[in-house]
Chains A and B, each alone.
Chain A
Amino acid sequence: MSEVPDDLHYTKSHEWVRKQDDGSLTVGISAHAQDLLGDLVFVEVPEEGARFGSGDDCAVVESVKAASDVYCPVTGEVVAVNEQLADTPETVNQDPYGDGWIFKVKPDDEAAFGDLLTASAYAEMIAEDSH
């Protein structure tokens, strides 16, 4: 089974979310999600400064096989994007929870982070999916 770090929160659509000290949230896709997609060959990151609602599609990850939307986990503004992924999309496969981060969003409501899935809830969800 794929790695699900305890210190992160998750969404049902397989994003992981890390809370930064400044209150912004770093977002990527889970190890489970990148494994399902296979080798990524293109990542389209959102524009810095763009605003998204919770659940809006805001980025795209594409493997050789398929394209998949990445959804914004909370309502807020994009404050940073991982420009490196334009040239090295495979980083998302190699280090999904580290250098493979996709964007950072400043949530309108800081409490929104607490509404996301805990690591154990997400781990349970993907275990059920695979049955």
Chain B
Amino acid sequence: MGKHTSLYNVHAAAGARIVDFGGWDMPVDYGSQLDEHHQVRLDVGMFDVSHMTIVDLHGDRCRDFLRQLLANNVDRLQESGKALYTCMLNEDGGVIDDLIVYFMGHDWFRVVVNASTRDKDMAWITEHAKIFGIDVRERDDLAMIAVQGPKARERVHEALGSAPEDLKDMAPFYAHAVDDFFIARTGYTGEDGYEIMLPADQAAAFWNKLVALGVKPCGLGARDTLRLEAGMNLYGSDMDEHVTPLESALGWTVAWDPDDRNFIGRSRLEEQRKLKPSHKLVGVILEDKGVLRDHLKVFVDGLEAGEITSGSFSPTLGKAIGFARVPREADKNCTVEVRGKQLSARIVKPPFVRNGKPCL
């Protein structure tokens, strides 16, 4: 048996199909992954993402610490509640994890890291936090619910009763505290919505309130096809410690200025940037019928050139899509080997879908 979030009993009672996600027993769907996918694109759905790791960092030198720890620059965070997406790198420039960091106050930042990487992330953060005198506190007293879709914010405002005006006016990638809830306008679906961190003992009541307002529970299966359509990487599939952000379509998250901010992994990244990385991460749309899967071989001009890092079927496009790591020169067309056959595919720049609409 795996670990259970505070919403596990709610999922089980609703008839969710439960599978293992990095040591957690989580709902993969509540009946139909496709219906749940469309639900989020067209209306509103919600996900229990309490398995993700929330860590609070306290200390006067928090900002200095994060300037060193993260490849993106926390100096971009000057207003309370502002969020930033970034990679955390090792000395070789390899990606230890991707995460979101929130600016809470001058001596307090919050980071949300992946569930499957919890142990190594905590060890890495704690080790480097020491000399800055930072207090590292895991917040396993908090649950996290992602409410996503064009109607998501409206429903959450209703569920809160009297949503404050500054929440209603809040821009994307900002967060706001409402009583015990920390409400961030972020997500992993390509739709508008919130990720809400709240006391674990209040999670079931809030979840049920949202259900009563018509918000449909969705499993992590739909979350995966939604993020893939949205062109968002999955740690462990699309990048890991053996590749850099520059080889993972995440160059935009690396802050090179100022030159003297010596974040961990910087020197290796600088070298790679100068020489240009030999490989890149691209989007792939299968033109033939079939479904793309992780690790299928990709061929360019008839030669094996790389592999699919995330492959699935896009419910919105009705075609198989994926990401592939291929040589820098590859563009336009490739083939993917599926059960011994070469199927035609097109190399594209993600996202595939944003705000309910196909982009390609």
**What residues of chain A have their CB less than 8 Å away from a CB belonging to chain B?**
38-39, 41-42, 44, 60, 62-65, 67, 86
22 interchain pairs, CB-CB under 8 A: A38-B17, A38-B29, A38-B32, A38-B33, A38-B221, A39-B32, A39-B34, A42-B289, A42-B290, A42-B313, A42-B320, A44-B290, A62-B313, A63-B33, A64-B33, A64-B221, A64-B225, A64-B291, A64-B312, A64-B315, A65-B33, A65-B221
Taking CB atoms and an 8 Å cut-off, the chain B residues in 15-51 that contact chain A are 17, 28-29, 32-35
Partner pick for B291 among A38, A41, A86, CB 8 A cutoff: A41
Taking CB atoms and an 8 Å cut-off, the chain B residues in 301-333 that contact chain A are 312-313, 315, 320
CA A4 to CA B35, docked complex, whole Å: 26
Please name the 10 residue pairs, one residue from A and one from B, whose CB atoms are nearest each other, closest first: A39-B34, A41-B313, A62-B291, A42-B291, A64-B313, A64-B33, A38-B33, A39-B32, A39-B33, A42-B290
Q: In the complex, what residues of B have CB within 8 A of residue A65's CB?
A: 28, 33, 221
CA A39 to CA B28, docked complex, whole Å: 13
Q: In the complex, what residues of A have CB within 8 A of residue B289's CB?
A: 42, 86
Q: Is B293 an interface residue (CB 8 A)?
A: yes
Q: In the complex, what residues of B have CB within 8 A of residue A64's CB?
A: 33-34, 221, 225, 291, 312-313, 315
Residue of B nearest to A42 (CB): B291
B287 CB, nearest partner CB in chain A, Å:
14
* Given A42-B313, A60-B339, A86-B289, 15 extra CB contacts under 8 A: A38-B32, A38-B221, A42-B290, A42-B291, A42-B320, A44-B290, A44-B339, A62-B290, A62-B313, A64-B221, A64-B225, A64-B291, A64-B315, A65-B221, A67-B293
CA A63 to CA B313, docked complex, whole Å: 8
**What residues of chain B have their CB less than 8 Å away from a CB belonging to chain A?**
17, 28-29, 32-35, 221, 225, 289-291, 293, 312-313, 315, 320, 339
B307 CB, nearest partner CB in chain A, Å:
16
CA A38 to CA B35, docked complex, whole Å: 11
Q: In the complex, what residues of A have CB within 8 A of residue B28's CB?
A: 65
Residue of B nearest to A65 (CB): B221
Residue of A nearest to B286 (CB): A42
B20 CB, nearest partner CB in chain A, Å:
13
B31 CB, nearest partner CB in chain A, Å:
9
A112 CB, nearest partner CB in chain B, Å:
27
CA A105 to CA B289, docked complex, whole Å: 24
B318 CB, nearest partner CB in chain A, Å:
8
Residue of B nearest to A39 (CB): B34
CA A39 to CA B36, docked complex, whole Å: 11
CA A41 to CA B318, docked complex, whole Å: 8
B56 CB, nearest partner CB in chain A, Å:
35
Residue of A nearest to B290 (CB): A42
CA A65 to CA B225, docked complex, whole Å: 10
Of A38, A44, A63, A86, the most chain B CB neighbours within 10 A belong to A38
B114 CB, nearest partner CB in chain A, Å:
20
A36 CB, nearest partner CB in chain B, Å:
9
Residue of B nearest to A36 (CB): B17
CA A38 to CA B224, docked complex, whole Å: 15
CA A67 to CA B225, docked complex, whole Å: 16
Residue of B nearest to A90 (CB): B34
Residue of A nearest to B29 (CB): A38
Q: In the complex, what residues of A have CB within 8 A of residue B312's CB?
A: 64
Q: In the complex, what residues of A have CB within 8 A of residue B293's CB?
A: 67
CA A81 to CA B165, docked complex, whole Å: 60
B218 CB, nearest partner CB in chain A, Å:
13
B53 CB, nearest partner CB in chain A, Å:
25
A81 CB, nearest partner CB in chain B, Å:
14
Whether A67 pairs with B32 at a CB distance below 8 angstroms is no
B147 CB, nearest partner CB in chain A, Å:
22
A40 CB, nearest partner CB in chain B, Å:
10
Residue of A nearest to B222 (CB): A64
Residue of A nearest to B17 (CB): A38
CA A64 to CA B313, docked complex, whole Å: 6
A21 CB, nearest partner CB in chain B, Å:
33
Residue of B nearest to A38 (CB): B33
CA A62 to CA B312, docked complex, whole Å: 10
Q: In the complex, what residues of A have CB within 8 A of residue B313's CB?
A: 41-42, 62, 64
Q: In the complex, what residues of A have CB within 8 A of residue B315's CB?
A: 41, 64
Of B35, B313, B320, B339, the most chain A CB neighbours within 10 A belong to B313
Q: In the complex, what residues of A have CB within 8 A of residue B225's CB?
A: 64
CA A86 to CA B290, docked complex, whole Å: 10
